[in-house]
Chain A
Amino acid sequence: MCATCGCSDHHLEHDSHHRHPHGPDDVPHVHPHKTTRTVRLEQDVLAKNDRLAERNRAWLDERGVVALNLMSSPGAGKTTLLERTLRELGREMAIGVIEGDQATVRDAERIRAAGGRVVQINTGSGCHLDADMIAAALRELDPPARSLVLIENVGNLVCPALFGLGERAKVVMMSVTEGEDKPLKYPHMFRASDVMVLTKLDLLPHLDFDKARCLEFARRINPRLEILETSAVQGRGLAAWYARLRTAVSEGLRALGAR
């Protein structure tokens, strides 16, 4: 807008000069106009990731493969639960693992030692896996038809909640050593998840952890959350975890059948 005359006569070229008198005795003045225009985008910031996640989901569905996205803080026991799952369920179904860590292949080595097919992703400074990384990892993993892919996300209860990967379900894990108010402190993660696995129940006698209160908090944040209580060391609750994995795999076969 012209500061002298307030004119908004922007039919002129961008950055052009306009020239007009402002009164009977006025000499025309000349000044540059920096015109701007507004472009409505209405675009989700994560739209591209969501599109790539959908593509991963279609790729998995075509093969009757089901992926689960396992998320937790560092040290909640994701890898330990995966190791035992591979040992006990690996003969019944093909399980591939995608390991996400900022650095090292230590977890991939543990999974391989437990008999699993594994691809390690190191995110460097990245604090979460995204759909693009998973697309590349799936091609490398090349999971057989009718199999299960367990994606162990980077240990972090914040960022992974926002980035879908093409998983059939999001699983949040938390251990009883973490404090019962974790669902309140990280509500986005607990709201985004379909399943919550409470781990390390064998440690409960040594801790001042109010399990009922923790589960109440989790249900308050997400009334639809399925909750499983486990100890990968003692084996407690693992039958229910395995049953949940079998359910996921049969959902994948239904998706394959529906195509």
Chain B
Amino acid sequence: MHELAISERIVAAITDRLGDARVTRVVLEVGSLSGVVPDAVRFCFDVCVQGTSLDGAALDIVTLPGRARCSSCAAESEIVDPLAVCPCGSVTLEVMSGQELRIKEVEVR
């Protein structure tokens, strides 16, 4: 449900930076641990861009994997499940990445 607020912020951040330049494509990076659902962002994005300089712009979402470091053995691994277990058996994993929510680039005409 916060995807609506997220989409509004995407539009605002881009128009703040680029004024009324006509935007045709937005590339968004979404970490798989970010708590943001890409399909929900796509749905809300199409609503939020209406009547703005992003109207009709394509939205490309690049999903970034979650990575964590084990507190016991320091090994790094990709995590998908919130209850991930390190191959060493430890369950105390510190999330290092995968929480991104970033506008990587936009295409303007």
Question: A residues engaging B (CB < 8 A)?
Answer: 14, 34-49, 126-128, 130, 156, 158-159, 161-162, 184, 187-188, 191, 217, 219-221, 223
Of all chain A residues, the one with the shortest Cβ separation from B13 is A43
Pair A126/B106 contact, Cβ less than 8 Å: no
Pair B24/A40 contact, Cβ less than 8 Å: no
Indicate with 1 or 0, residue by residue over B57-94, a CB within 8 angstroms of chain A CB atoms.
00000000000000100000000001100000001111
SS class of chain B's interface: helix, strand, loop or mixed?
mixed
Pair B108/A220 contact, Cβ less than 8 Å: no
- Count of chain A to chain B residue pairs whose CB atoms are closer than 8 Å in the complex: 100
Residues of B contacting A161 with CB < 8 Å? 35
Pair B9/A162 contact, Cβ less than 8 Å: no
20 additional A-B residue pairs with CB within 8 Å, beyond A36-B108, A48-B12, A128-B2: A36-B24, A36-B109, A37-B107, A38-B106, A40-B105, A41-B13, A41-B14, A43-B103, A45-B9, A46-B6, A47-B13, A48-B13, A127-B1, A127-B2, A158-B2, A158-B35, A159-B1, A184-B83, A188-B34, A223-B92
Residues of B contacting A41 with CB < 8 Å? 13-14, 17, 103-106
Interface residues contributed by chain B, number (CB under 8 Å):
37
Question: B residues engaging A (CB < 8 A)?
Answer: 1-2, 5-6, 9-10, 12-14, 16-18, 24-25, 28, 33-36, 71, 82-83, 91-95, 100-109
What is the CA–CA distance of A158 and B101 in the complex, to the nearest angstrom?
15
Residues of B contacting A37 with CB < 8 Å? 107-108
Pair B102/A38 contact, Cβ less than 8 Å: no
Tell which of B82, B105, B109 has the most Cβ of chain A within 10 Å: B82
Residues of B contacting A34 with CB < 8 Å? 109
Pair A223/B94 contact, Cβ less than 8 Å: yes
What is the CA–CA distance of A104 and B1 in the complex, to the nearest angstrom?
21
The answer to whether residues A162 and B2 also contact, given A48-B12, A220-B82 and a CB cut-off of 8 A, is yes
Residues of A contacting B82 with CB < 8 Å? 184, 187, 220-221
Give the distance to chain B from A23, nearest Cβ to Cβ, in Å.
Answer: 30
Give the distance to chain A from B39, nearest Cβ to Cβ, in Å.
Answer: 15
From A35, A39, A126, A188, contact of B35 by CB (8 A) = A188
From B12, B34, B83, B109, contact of A14 by CB (8 A) = B109
14 A-B pairs within 8 Å (CB atoms) are namely A36-B24, A36-B109, A37-B107, A40-B105, A43-B17, A44-B102, A45-B102, A46-B9, A49-B9, A127-B2, A159-B1, A162-B36, A184-B82, A223-B94
